[in-house]
Structure 1
Amino acid sequence: MRKNTSPAEGTEGLVYQCRLPLSSATLDLVAGLVRGHLKKIGSRWRKLPPGRIALIVLAVLRHDQRLSDMAGGNDVSASTVRRWLLKVIGLLAARAPRLDRALKLTRSGGEVVLLNGTLVRTRRRTGDENRPDCSGKYKAHGLLFLALTDEKGNLVWISAARPGRSSEVTTARHNKITARLRAAGLGALADLGSTGLDDDPDDPVIVTGRKATRGHPLTEAQKEANKLVGRDRAANEHGFADLKNWRILTKVRMNARHATTLLRALLVLTNAEIHR
């Protein structure tokens, strides 16, 4: 019997195929943005065509594939894949609506939006930079984002990243959400974390449930009102669930500025998948 002492792995790496659970419309959207950008800057060629570049970037965003793995399977360098990724994220984020425009679009379809916050986990920092990202509420390190959805749970706007130790009320006041909702003629439903956010209790635009205290338990009417608010807010959680299907958000390895660009790019991709 002849022994085979040669290594199982040759000089060429092994490549496998993996299904990407996205629609062709999303791929066409990203490929069109890449193609338009190359035409705008007058680029003659790239290592791969725009369709392949879009597919690689979507695989990194959806499955959180390592850049070196994607580079090895497509005969390019990891730095090239990183450059494509950052460029596509920037192109997509530029299409995300800002708060005033998002409220104007929502006003044409309804009179109520849903407000909620979420923590996107990040890598733990070292030294003094570690403390701002530590969230006491979630007992984890991350960045805080606020989002608005319509009554059906479709994301319409996402805020800039704030340190994880920030509260949802502080973040909402930083973005002047109450004043902009009142100017747009819209109301909002929020959870108990936004209690006290509205500065006009006689004419509130942000409706939350009631909190019980040690000496003042909730009445039956207040409990029923909390159930109604929670039932109407359930669609908001569906919007965050759609956003976090992008596995790159499992643990973000970016600073706050780049994380804001990433979340806004994923907002555009999420809406493209929902409304395809």
Structure 2
Amino acid sequence: MAELVPEIGPLWQERHQARLAARPRKRAVGTGAKHRLVFVDRLLATLVRLRHGVTHDVLACWFGVDRSTITRAIGEVRPLLAERGCTVNPDVRLRSLADVVNHLGASGTTGIVDGTEIGVRRPAVGRKDRDKFISGKNKQNTVKSMVVTDGEGSVLWCSPARPASCADITHARQLGLVRLLAGEPAVRILTDAGYQGLGAQTGGRVVTPPHRKFKKNAPDWDEEMHERQRKAPSSRRIRVEHGIAHRKNWRALARHLGCREHMSDTIHAVAGLLSHQQTADLTSTRQS
């Protein structure tokens, strides 16, 4: 809180004043009723909502305001947290996939990519594209996000949410991963079998598990060799699962029961807060 208030507070105040000045007014800016919920409480309510999934009704009771006030406050603060980006060190923040690729190329770090799904409410009957949210893997209504971590499992970036009917490799292509890796020969990214095919398109920069040589009636020697080749990078690739698990400790990403339109901001806000915490813990460990 001590670090977030001076960073987010001026941005919130600036946008609040811009909204007041952008519409016709009969009273001067700054006059009229004052906020019953000050900015520190707005930020705290947003953090509690993201971390513990507390409903707006409960937060309204805690802070002694109306439910609509909490809803409006979270709607104002959450985009500001989402815009912070993921913290690599106190001076570097990554806000896009291009920033991540440039960082991996400059630092010589191996990246790990994987997709994760978050359960959401089923769209109403008769709504257009209702079946787009049904996951072929989980057989549930979910949204998908691509997560990029470094070799230690620290979150570097999370993609915006999109309906889970999209395949992992298609999602990566739509995000421009192939195009971005074309100009970074030193980048190496580990993925699972869901991204097979990107290795050939990126000149080997994306490393995926090998294909099976025999699909049926494979000899024992081929099974043993395939198992060794498959497990070789798995001990390194598992770190991205740790990063995903840390994200889902935040109840807002365990299962989202609110509006699906806010999922991208929620994902980016949690990723930024989590990466900042991981960086602070790593810095304190090195100093001690």
Q: TM-score, normalised by structure 2?
A: 0.79
Q: Which residue of 2 aligns with 1:210?
A: 210
Q: Which residue of 2 aligns with 1:189?
A: 190
* Greater shift in the superposed pair: 114-123 or 211-220: 211-220
Q: Which residue of 1 aligns with 2:106?
A: 108
Q: Which residue of 2 aligns with 1:47?
A: 36
Q: TM-score, normalised by structure 1?
A: 0.83
Query: 1:121–1:143: 8 Å Cα contact kept in structure 2?
Result: yes
1:198 matches 2:199: yes
Q: Which residue of 1 aligns with 2:90?
A: none
Q: Within 2, Cα distance between the matches of 1:83 and 1:75?
A: 15
Q: Within 2, Cα distance between the matches of 1:238 and 1:147?
A: 11
Q: Within 1, Cα distance between the matches of 2:268 and 2:12?
A: 22
1:59 matches 2:43: no
Q: Within 2, Cα distance between the matches of 1:184 and 1:46?
A: 50
Q: Which residue of 2 aligns with 1:21?
A: none
SS of aligned partner of 1:120: strand
Q: Within 2, Cα distance between the matches of 1:268 and 1:246?
A: 12
Listed one character per residue, the Cα deviations across residues 133-168 of structure 1 (whole Å, up to 9, x for unaligned) are 001111211001111111111111111222111110
Query: 1:178–1:205: 8 Å Cα contact kept in structure 2?
Result: no
Query: 2:120–2:260: 8 Å Cα contact kept in structure 1?
Result: no
Query: 1:34–1:50: 8 Å Cα contact kept in structure 2?
Result: no
Query: 1:31–1:53: 8 Å Cα contact kept in structure 2?
Result: no
The two structures, once aligned, show a CA RMSD in angstroms of: 2.1
Query: 1:28–1:51: 8 Å Cα contact kept in structure 2?
Result: no
Amino acid at match of 1:59: V
Identity in percent = 24
Aligned-residue offset at 1:83: 1.2
Q: Within 1, Cα distance between the matches of 2:155 and 2:238?
A: 13
Q: Within 1, Cα distance between the matches of 2:102 and 2:61?
A: 45
Query: 2:12–2:77: 8 Å Cα contact kept in structure 1?
Result: no
Query: 2:81–2:272: 8 Å Cα contact kept in structure 1?
Result: yes
Query: 1:121–1:141: 8 Å Cα contact kept in structure 2?
Result: yes
The structure 1 residue matched to 2:228, chosen from 210, 224, 229, is 224
Aligned-residue offset at 1:114: 0.3
Aligned-residue offset at 1:215: 4.2
Query: Given the superposition, is the C-alpha separation of residues 71 and 254 from structure 1 closer, same or farther in structure 2, using an over 3 Å criterion?
Result: closer
Query: 2:117–2:164: 8 Å Cα contact kept in structure 1?
Result: yes
Q: Which residue of 2 aligns with 1:13?
A: none
Q: Within 2, Cα distance between the matches of 1:39 and 1:250?
A: 31
Q: Within 2, Cα distance between the matches of 1:205 and 1:153?
A: 19
Query: Given the superposition, is the C-alpha separation of residues 160 and 182 from structure 1 closer, same or farther in structure 2, using an over 3 Å criterion?
Result: same
Amino acid at match of 1:188: I
1:88-167 alignment to 2 at 5 Å? 88-96=77-85, 97-127=95-125, 128=127, 129-167=129-167
Q: Which residue of 1 aligns with 2:6?
A: 32
Count of residue pairs brought into register by the alignment = 249
Listed one character per residue, the Cα deviations across residues 243-275 of structure 1 (whole Å, up to 9, x for unaligned) are 111101222134554211110111111112212
* Greater shift in the superposed pair: 51-60 or 130-139: 51-60
Q: Which residue of 2 aligns with 1:77?
A: 66
Unpaired runs of 5+ in structure 2?
18-28, 86-94, 281-288
SS of aligned partner of 1:118: strand
Aligned-residue offset at 1:108: 3.2
SS of aligned partner of 1:147: strand
1:274 matches 2:278: yes
1:259 matches 2:248: no
Q: Within 1, Cα distance between the matches of 2:192 and 2:250?
A: 25
Amino acid at match of 2:210: R
Query: Given the superposition, is the C-alpha separation of residues 161 and 88 from structure 1 closer, same or farther in structure 2, using an over 3 Å criterion?
Result: same
Q: Within 1, Cα distance between the matches of 2:70 and 2:4?
A: 15
Query: 2:190–2:206: 8 Å Cα contact kept in structure 1?
Result: yes
Amino acid at match of 2:209: G
Q: Which residue of 1 aligns with 2:92?
A: none
